Chain A
Amino acid sequence: MVTLAPPPPSHRPLAGIPDIARSEFRKLRSVRSTFWTLFAAVTSNVVIAAFAAILLPGQLGAHEKATVDAVRLSLAGLHLAQIAFGVLGVLVITSEYGTGMIHATVSAVPRRRTLLASKAMVFTGTALIVGITASFAAYFTFQAFLSDDSLRSSLADPGVVRAVAGGGLFLTVLGLLGLGLGAIIRVSAGAIAALFSLLFLPPILLDLLPHSWQTDIGPYIPMNAGGQIYLLHHDDGNLGAWTGFGVFSLYAALALTAGFILINHRDT
């Protein structure tokens, strides 16, 4: 009788990541929701940029035109795109729990942290490419439809490339925050609600607080911090572009870390 010795156990947690990442990428692109959320994000970005370029010049006065952040106007579609990216980030993990697919997934990849890391990597890559492309598409669309040169900008101007690419960075990290919350909450509706509460409630609550608190806390709430990366100009009270983005990334990192810790300690 021939007995096969079992292969030695793997102690390298990152071993096998390329295979797992290929599997996760196939998962991401083999469901329609991925295509539709990303399509919605790109289209809304571009279409809203076109409308902004056509309608805004007639509505803004000369002083406003001189002081307004024209790059921000071209990225107005981010307000819709962020919802799409957030939902997609959540679904990357919660759709597995919702359908029960997680059982097959964890049976195939019992090292759950490696699994979650692979999911985050694949989502990050996809979101960066689509998000940055969508932002530049919006920027160029805005320039193309602009009839008024006073709002025109160039990629050569200081900060413009950072702000436009920043739109894509913002969307990606927002999606990762969704992925982290999804890993913690495991239910699509709950995680989506948590994500958008975290993003949209603090600004409302902040208005109810005393003014001094507003200036102390305000810059650090997720949307204020994260939004700096796609702004050309920064108010004195707010964080700088990269500092703000760093704080925003910290929120995502915290959520993902909590998801990382929990995933090994819960039954699926």
Chain B
Amino acid sequence: MIEAIGLSKRYGATWAVEDLSFTVPPGAVTGFLGPNGAGKSTTMRMILGLDAPTSGSVTVHGRPYVGYRRPLFEVGALLDARAVHGGRSAYNHLLCLALSNGIGRARVNTVLDQVGLRGVAHRRCGGFSLGMSQRLGIAAALLGDPRVLMFDEPVNGLDPEGVVWIRTLLRALAAEGRTVLLSSHLMSEMALTADRLIIIGRGRLIAQTTVAEFLRGGSDSYLRVRSPQADALATLLEAQGIGVTRQDDHTLRITGADGATVGELARVHGFALQELSAHQASLEQRYIELTGDAVDYRTVEGTRVPAPN
């Protein structure tokens, strides 16, 4: 369980994170979503006590991170997979971290097996691909078998097999009752991995919800119906209190009813249907709708211009 209350961080005149309050519950994968520069990494660094908040607070299991004497047993985190001493072997990198928390060599070998790096454990990690580095970072996060796991953009640079592997791992960790916080700027990845969402833009909270709820709230969830008798069908549906928009002579856009209801009404009244399809706003669309005003850098007519702060 991670709890942030009024968390704020200012760099000079810019608020990287402003009055952010959220809860990350155990037993679920919580997606931490926002455009680049929204303050996701800054927030994660404050959770870990790497950066001090300008105001507000954040606790892990009710206590600030820096209060833990052996924090690897509480929180495992992957912030930047490349942030390792390239001259050290994977094994030594993990052992250095493990020893500081009184964790033994056997556990180092276990996590190396778990992420599939046992075979290259004694190679210098400076030569690792980004995918291998991500695996090493995840191994480090798993060292203390912690109840809370945090991953900052863990699928970056992974091949499709690696992406599936991480997704499966995160789901399994959450299923064991752990708290999993996963940041990404990719909505599509979240749709597949996360149960809950915390969406931020420009350092502020935009939404805190479940993925399912988030989808339902979309402005354009609708049914598309094609029928040669579209006009008559529309009149019938409207009489039932169902929202209908006529798109062309044969196509209707229907909101406020599900496919079964519309199909059954058509059958009972003898209308022929040529198409009955459900359209849901994709997470991506919803996400862009929500964060549209909160993107720092956007492309305008092919030119990249920073928005005024």
**Interface residues, chain A, with chain B CB atoms under 8 Å away:** 6-7, 9-10, 15-16, 19-20, 22-24, 26-27, 30-33, 95-96, 99-111, 267-268
Contact = CB atoms under 8 A, between A and B. Distances in A.
Which 7 pairs of residues, A with B, have the shortest CB-CB distance?
A: A100-B83, A23-B100, A30-B92, A23-B99, A110-B66, A267-B51, A10-B69
B84 A6 contact: no
A30 B67 contact: no
Contacts of A31: 85, 87-88
A9 B77 contact: no
A71 B85 CA distance: 40
B66 A104 contact: no
B82 interface: yes
8 contacts: A6-B62, A20-B100, A23-B99, A27-B88, A99-B86, A107-B72, A108-B101, A267-B52
Contacts of A9: 63, 67, 69
What's the dominant secondary structure at chain A's contact region? Answer: helix
B45 interface: yes
Interface in B17-72: 45, 48-52, 61-63, 65-72
A108 B52 CA distance: 16
Interface residues of B, number: 39
Contacts of B82: 100
B83 A106 contact: no
B87 A103 contact: no
A24 B63 CA distance: 27
B50 A107 contact: yes
B242 interface: no
B96 interface: yes
Contacts of A10: 69
Contact of B96 (A26, A111, A268): A26
Interface of B: 45, 48-52, 61-63, 65-72, 75, 77, 79-80, 82-89, 92, 95-102, 140
Nearest to B124: A32
A26 B68 contact: no
A6 B63 contact: yes
B55 to A, nearest CB: 15
A100 B69 contact: no
A101 B83 contact: yes
A267 B97 CA distance: 20
A89 B68 CA distance: 29
Contacts of A16: 69-70, 102
B101 A104 contact: no
Contacts of A19: 99-102
B71 A108 contact: yes
Given A16-B102, A23-B100, A108-B101, 6 more contacts: A6-B63, A9-B63, A19-B102, A101-B83, A101-B84, A267-B51
Contact of A106 (B50, B75, B92): B50
Contacts of B75: 107
A7 B74 CA distance: 11
Contact of A23 (B49, B67, B96): B96
A87 to B, nearest CB: 15
Contact of B68 (A15, A32, A103, A110): A110
Given A23-B96, A23-B97, A30-B96, A104 B83 contact: yes
A96 B101 CA distance: 18
A109 B242 CA distance: 61
B69 A30 contact: no
